[in-house]
Amino acid sequence: MEMQNVIALLVALITILNILFAIVVIFVERRDVSSTWAWLMVLFFLPIVGFFVYIFLGRQLKQRNFYQLAEEERNFLNDAVNIQLEQLTSSDFNEKPLLKEHADLITMNMKSSNALLTDDNEVTIFQHGRDKFESLFEDIQNAKKEINLEYYIIQRDSLGKRLRDELTKKAKEGVRVRVLYDEVGSRRMDRSFFKELIDSGGEVEVFFPSFLKLINFRFNTRNHRKLCIIDGEMAYIGGFNIGNEYLGLNKKFGNWRDTHLKITGDAVTHIQGRFVLDWKQATKQEIIDYEAYSISEERNNGSSAIQIISSGPNSMTEHLKNMYLKLIMSAKRSVYIQTPYFVPDSSFMDVCKMALLSGVDVRIMIPNKPDHPFVRWANLAYAGELLPYGAKILLYDNGFLHAKSIVVDQEVASVGTTNIDLRSFRLNFEVNALIYDEKIARNLYDLFLEDSQDSVELTLEQYKERSGTVRFKESISRLLSPIL
């Protein structure tokens, strides 16, 4: 066969494959319109490369019963939600003005993501890694029954080794220890790192493991959650992963500014339930653990009302994005957001603009020192779009800002693992604590103001004067944002 015929055959084959993948993207997967057009552009403008990019980054998860819940488990969860929905109209809730005011938000989260409400919680806020990890290690050392730990990143450095050694000690004491880490986030990690822990009775699993340690067909769909639950009595949730950089020891980033919570109270059982589902998915074990979802009959001493809201690509509904949208739409005075990645979709941008046009004080804090050039240009592109509407954009300049929080009217706040970007809203498995408590909200509000002292404000005049090169980079970043 002549070379010309071979080339023609290859071109025809690639064209047919591209058409087939385009059909899948448009008619089978039924993606968001912006994502559909972005993938079509990749497939047709990068015929060979685009094919492999799609295989590793583009495939969606099956969404039907992803966690393979038994009928009993699904019925139990539905019954618990229905009971609480009835309670929303009871005198107990009516006596709490803040819960009554946000009854529609509470109801939406219950119906959307089975996010039950508990109102007897105590919350501690951490903004520095050293404080968070010293508290975590102390609680691990005092554990009596069980330690469940789930992190996107666990590094093989001194902090990771200290965690492993502390867990190994507890396993030797007879405490049940379970560790779940993400394969891509913890790409330098392997099970041999935990050999002594496993030999001592600890259990270690990987979320979406790679094929032969080299190929991962779920590279773009990761478990971004960061949780630790101890004895079913206390839980940690927020932005800190496990690694020396989170202690501010990385020369590239310097000071690491993050936000993490320690929660005691009935909300812990629902954080535990989140872990149980992820553990079940990773291990394929049949687990029916009703205690992980049940509301305790015993009241705790705290007074913070909390919903634990999860989201992931296993659902057609973007639960956490909807929570953010509803929060912003409810704002009457202020919306303060901290996020390392501000690459939202049009719906998020629209509610921010409406809030600004309604006279709400909207402030968004992003890093002045990003962890990737693409992030910087994308952040500036979207944040800059809000400047003409009156938004205040702050560039945090004291190291790296990794906090993921929103505070509305100094009354309601959310802290968790979710960034304001399409990856967190659509691709990653995420979890946030939504807190209905003026005291906690004011504390987070004050932290925002404190961080503002270490930030540089980006003005509309400065943004208009940016160079043509910067404008070009922003345009490319916005164009690719739906698939990254």
Alpha-carbon distances, residue 403 vs 150, 319, 347, 409, 418 (angstroms): 18, 20, 22, 19, 9
CB 310 within 8 A of CB 322: no
| pTM metric for this prediction | 0.86
Minimal CA–CA distance to 169: which of 204, 129, 142?
142
Selected catalytic residue, list 262, 319, 321, 404: 404
Terminal C-alpha separation, the chain: 41
d(CA 115, CA 108): 9
Examine the residue annotation and report whether 372 is marked as an active-site residue of this protein: no
Give Cα separations from 384 to 82, 328, 343, 398 (angstroms).
Answer: 43, 19, 11, 21
Which one from 139, 402, 421, 451 is the annotated catalytic residue? 402
Question: For the stretch 216-226, what's the b/e string if a residue is b when 16 or more beta carbons lie within 10 angstroms of its beta carbon?
Answer: bebebbbbbbb
319 among known catalytic residues: no
**Cα 26 from chain centroid?**
27
Q: Which pLDDT does position 474 carry in this prediction?
A: 81
For residues 420 and 339, is the Cβ–Cβ distance under 8 A?
Answer: yes
**Blockwise average pLDDT, block size 10, the chain, 484 residues:** 68 70 58 62 63 59 59 65 73 76 94 92 97 98 98 97 98 98 90 96 90 62 94 97 96 94 96 93 72 56 93 89 97 98 95 98 94 84 96 97 98 97 91 98 98 97 89 78 59
Q: Which of 102, 170, 226, 319 is catalytic?
A: 226
- Mark whether 224 is an active-site residue: yes
Buried/exposed 351-360: b ≥16 CB within 10 Å, e otherwise: bbbebbeeeb
The pLDDT of residue 301: 76
Active-site choice (132, 170, 224, 260): 224
pLDDT value at residue 69: 61
User: What secondary structure does DSSP assign to 220-251, as a single string?
Assistant: TS-B---EEEETTTEEEEES--BSGGGGT--T
Identify whether 132 is a catalytic site residue.
Answer: no
pLDDT at 62: 56
Spot the catalytic one: 119, 258, 345, 409: 409
Judge whether 404 counts as a catalytic residue.
Answer: yes
Whether residue 446 lies in the annotated active site = no
Single out the catalytic residue among 231, 289, 361, 371. Answer: 231
Cα 94 to Cα 8, 87, 91, 100, 410, distances in angstroms? 73, 10, 5, 6, 20
